[in-house]
Amino acid sequence: MGCYYYPSLTGILFERKSLRALFYGLGSDGTVGANKNSIKILGEETDNYVQAYFVYDSKKSGSVTTSHLRFGPEPIRSTYLISSANFIACHQWEFINRVDVLEAAVEGATFLVNSIYKPKNLWDNLPKRVQKQIQEKQLKVYTIDANEVADKAGMGKRINTVMQVCFFALAGVLPREDAIAEIKKSIRKTYSKKGETIVAMNIQAVDKTLENLFQVEWQGKPTDTEALPELPSPVSESAPAFVHDVLGKMMMRQGDLLPVSALPCDGTYPSGTTRWEKRNIAAEIPVWEPDVCVQCGKCVMVCPHAVIRAKVYEPEQLTLAPGTFKHTGTRTQEWKAQGLEFTIQVAPEDCTGCKICVDVCPAKDKSSPNRKAINMAPQPPLREAERDNWEFFLNLPEPDRLHLDVHKIAHQQMQTPLFEFSGACGGCGETPYLKLATQLFGDRMLVANATGCSSIYGGNLPTTPWTHNAEGRGPAWSNSLFEDNAEFGLGFRVALDRHTRQASELLQALRTEIGEELVDALLASPQQDEADIFEQRERVESLKHRLEDILPLADAEKRLQLVNLRSLADYLVKKSVWIIGGDGWAYDIGYGGLDHVLASGRNVNLLVLDTEVYSNTGGQMSKSTPKGAVAKFAEGGKVATKKDLGLIAMTYGTAYVASVAMGARDEHTLRVFLEAESYKGLAKK
Ligand SMILES: Cc1ncc(C[n+]2csc(CCOP(=O)(O)OP(=O)(O)O)c2C)c(N)n1
Ligand code: SF4
Ligand code: SF4
């Protein structure tokens, strides 16, 4: 097979009457922005008509975006999405494995794919289904390693400019030189405010693109006569039927084909379903080096997606370990004495490649300082082996929570997160705090979530990141309005306290039937730490058994009390109420209610995810934005100083108030979460 630099890059599509182009991009990779820009160039610089429509879901980033662009000399009256395209671009290699990118391609269409494979190896790495579609539709195939070009130009993962140049070069809608001049003009217009360096990087990327764009010659490759293979389901066979048949269809972007009857009639969806949505969006993932690792747990703590995890376990557990599964003796004194093994494992298909774990890792190989205890490496070659290792890791027993010293990060980070693989942006600065709260208190946590980024990545169809442990316990979560979330959460507290009081009164009233010893123990339990809570849960189980025993023997009046107590028994275990939202909620729009809750002194935890702007809606300033700061939609700079919400909270004299940042001091963050939750009254972080 040969491959060659495409010699004449103009005119291949423009000769046709109109261009119908489809672009598959990764949310936040710049594809949509670049296409908006392209359509403006085409609309403004030619006499042609243009139309663009963009399809994407509500994940914060990392999902598939589809741009539908029409262009031609006649007025465009098509009010529907493109279903027959003469140009298709796939900006992320991974999509060709899970999205039917070529379904809409017409015969002879042009297909451009961003790939890490060299042009001569590309064909052999295409899925059989895609090969067959290319052959049947006689497509012209082009490839570029856009990530490499962008990276070399200093633009990191921003491949949008590179792919935009390829589009103009291949589509030939403008003479090549004119198109490149227009792209450069629009780069200057868009990025000049960000400084000359950014402009220069983009210009360099434009100049380097064409010499890295290749046509893939596939003619003469063997064809097979078998039917077109099915697109593989995005979820494994072992997923529950609902996940497989309903959520899986939504993941494949075929949700519109589901009948209404397939959806839960009461709107209840199972929790913990992000674990089935293997998005494979990371070009690179961290690789652990056991000999360098000091086993501090910092990487596990900061990972926004709960993708990198640690476990200690008995060496016998390794008998059936896959050959590539990494482990080493534990360095922690008490576990060392027990001869336990230690592993840091990454979920390769859930990682976003944000690299935060590597940045925070303090351990370096002394003989080679560039080698840390975790380092990024390309994901595709590692995927299969690490997928098996991850499965094996998940099946290793969890360390006993009762024996973990939760004040030490290395210990505490062994706790299973009950918030995992969310659709938050790679490197999200909010989610590690939610994850930490669920590790510590998730099995008895109720969350009132204000509208904002956290409500979107927390409650996004088709999957939810809030999950449950092996006993089926996990956070109860609900999203309220922006303006009333504090009151909403306060309502949780009031209702819980009422139920607990009712259960306690019934215990007293049924003291003789249930038995004094059990009743006293249930009422006296301090429930201050994990061990207390564990014991209280055991007592509640004993109570439930006792109620079942005595119910058949009770008279009508007692029977009613016993049945009521049975339904309220779980409220005898302490619950942890968390009222969560961003600074737009806490400082501005929900502030009236928040102040009311602060003044109430009730036992709730307020967690303000203070990003100092309204993040979900793109960056408006809030009263938390520091003086002089420029936000995306506040270009003049903030005039007033940052409001001191902590100080306001302290004026009531009843709240535990703290400000935390893992990046500043992770031990402090952990200590504050523990102290705040155990404080009997209002806690604000
Ligand atoms: C009353 C009301 N106004 C505006 C909105 C639109 N809105 C949704 S989320 C959001 C921004 C949230 O910002 P913030 O509270 O800081 O949370 P973040 O997204 O930063 O986590 C806005 C303005 C809304 N949902 N309700
Ligand atoms: S690269 Fe990001 S998502 Fe992946 S394991 Fe590290 S911190 Fe987690
Ligand atoms: S941060 Fe580095 S040293 Fe610490 S546990 Fe993770 S890999 Fe090991």
For every residue of 189-249, DSSP letters joined together read HHHGGG-HHHHHHHHHHHHHHGGG-EEE--TT-----SPPPPPPPSS-TTS-HHIIIIIHH
| Tens-digit pLDDT profile for residues 533-561 | 999 999 999 999 999 999 999 999 899 99
What rounded mean pLDDT belongs to the chain?
A: 92
| Tens-digit pLDDT profile for residues 14-27 | 444 689 999 999 88
Stretch among 232-241, 587-596, 635-644, 653-662 having the lowest mean pLDDT: 232-241
pLDDT (average), residues 222-251: 87
* Contact indicator for 389, 327 with CB cutoff of 8 Å: no
Percent above pLDDT 90 for the chain = 77
Q: Which of 344, 303, 308, 309 has the alpha carbon at shortest distance from 431?
A: 303
Q: Measuring from atom 1 of ligand 3, which residue has the nearest CA?
A: 361
365 φψ region: left (φ > 0), alpha (ψ -120 to 50), beta (else): beta
Q: Measuring from atom 7 of ligand 2, which residue has the nearest CA?
A: 303
Band (pLDDT 50/70/90 cuts) for residue 11 is: very low
- In short, whether 582's Cβ falls inside 6 Å of ligand 1 is yes
Band (pLDDT 50/70/90 cuts) for residue 460 is: confident
Ligand closest to the CA atom of residue 589 = 1
Ligand 1 centroid from CA 616, angstroms: 6
What is the model's pLDDT at position 14? 44
The DSSP annotation for 500-565 comes to: HHHHHHHHHHTHHHH-HHHHHHHHH----SHHHHHHHHHHHHHHHHHHHHHGGGS-HHHHHHHHHH
- In short, whether 142's Cβ falls inside 6 Å of ligand 1 is no
Ligand closest to the CA atom of residue 362 = 3
Q: Which carries the bigger pLDDT value, residue 379 or residue 63?
A: 379
Whole-number CA gyration radius for the chain: 29
Q: Measuring from atom 2 of ligand 2, which residue has the nearest CA?
A: 354
pLDDT (average), residues 178-183: 88
How far is Cα 456 from Cα 437, in angstroms, rounded to an integer? 18
Q: Measuring from atom 8 of ligand 2, which residue has the nearest CA?
A: 303
Percent helix, percent strand, percent coil in the chain, to nearest 5: 40, 15, 40
User: Which atom of ligand 3 is the closest one to the Cα of 294?
Assistant: 3
Contacts of 122 (CB under 8 A, 6+ apart): 3, 113, 115, 141, 143, 216
| Tens-digit pLDDT profile for residues 606-628 | 999 999 999 999 899 999 999 99
| Tens-digit pLDDT profile for residues 404-442 | 999 999 999 999 999 999 999 999 999 999 999 999 999
pLDDT (average), residues 381-391: 96
pLDDT (average), residues 629-643: 90
How far is Cα 521 from Cα 31, in angstroms, rounded to an integer? 62
Return the DSSP state at 276: G
- In short, whether 449's Cβ falls inside 6 Å of ligand 1 is no
How far is Cα 306 from Cα 147, in angstroms, rounded to an integer? 26
| Residue 270 CA: distances (Å) to CA of 420, 446, 640 | 14, 16, 45
| Residue 10 CA: distances (Å) to CA of 6, 116, 142, 616 | 10, 25, 14, 41
Q: Where do we find the tokens 């030939």?
A: 172
Ligand 1 centroid from CA 482, angstroms: 6
| Tens-digit pLDDT profile for residues 314-342 | 999 999 999 999 999 999 988 999 999 99
Ligand 1 centroid from CA 608, angstroms: 13
Q: Which of 505, 533, 532 has the alpha carbon at shortest distance from 519?
A: 505
Torsion sign across C-alpha atoms 669, 672, 677, 681: negative
What is the model's pLDDT at position 337? 93
Alpha-carbon dihedral of residues 601, 607, 612, 618, nearest 10 degrees? -120
Stretch among 126-135, 183-192, 394-403 having the lowest mean pLDDT: 183-192
Stretch among 370-374, 527-531, 591-595, 638-642 having the lowest mean pLDDT: 527-531
Q: Is the confidence at residue 656, as pLDDT, over 70? A: yes
Q: Which residues have CB under 6 Å of ligand 3?
A: 288, 293-299, 344, 361, 363, 373-374
Ligand 2 centroid from CA 674, angstroms: 25
Contacts of 496 (CB under 8 A, 6+ apart): 446, 571, 575, 577
Q: Is the confidence at residue 1, as pLDDT, over 70? A: no
Band (pLDDT 50/70/90 cuts) for residue 671 is: very high
How far is Cα 345 from Cα 349, in angstroms, rounded to an integer? 12
Q: Which residues have CB under 6 Å of ligand 2?
A: 286, 303, 305, 307-308, 346, 351-357
What is the model's pLDDT at position 126? 94
Q: Measuring from atom 12 of ligand 1, which residue has the nearest CA?
A: 452
Which of 361, 371, 412 should be mutated for ligand 3, with most atoms under 8 A from CB?
361
Band (pLDDT 50/70/90 cuts) for residue 212 is: very high
How far is Cα 220 from Cα 225, in angstroms, rounded to an integer? 15
How far is Cα 532 from Cα 290, in angstroms, rounded to an integer? 36
Which of 360, 364, 374 should be mutated for ligand 3, with most atoms under 8 A from CB?
374
How far is Cα 33 from Cα 40, in angstroms, rounded to an integer? 11
Q: Which of 32, 316, 16 has the alpha carbon at shortest distance from 170?
A: 16
Band (pLDDT 50/70/90 cuts) for residue 158 is: confident
User: How far from chain centre, in Å, is Cα 482?
Assistant: 22
Contacts of 385 (CB under 8 A, 6+ apart): 322, 324
Ligand 3 centroid from CA 344, angstroms: 8
What is the model's pLDDT at position 189? 86
Tell me which H or E stretch contains 364: strand 364-365
- In short, whether 610's Cβ falls inside 6 Å of ligand 1 is no
Contacts of range 324-328, beta carbons closer than 8 Å, 24 or more positions apart: 324/385, 324/386, 324/388, 324/389, 325/388, 325/389, 325/392, 325/393, 326/288, 326/290, 326/389, 327/290, 328/290, 328/291, 328/293
User: Which atom of ligand 2 is the closest one to the Cα of 355?
Assistant: 1
Q: What is the pTM of this model?
A: 0.86
Strand partners, 72: 49
Ligand 2 centroid from CA 386, angstroms: 14
Stretch among 220-229, 445-454, 567-576 having the lowest mean pLDDT: 220-229
- In short, whether 590's Cβ falls inside 6 Å of ligand 1 is no
Stretch among 245-249, 498-502, 634-638 having the lowest mean pLDDT: 634-638
Which of 285, 299, 326, 364 should be mutated for ligand 3, with most atoms under 8 A from CB?
299
What is the model's pLDDT at position 17? 60
Q: Is the confidence at residue 262, as pLDDT, over 60? A: yes
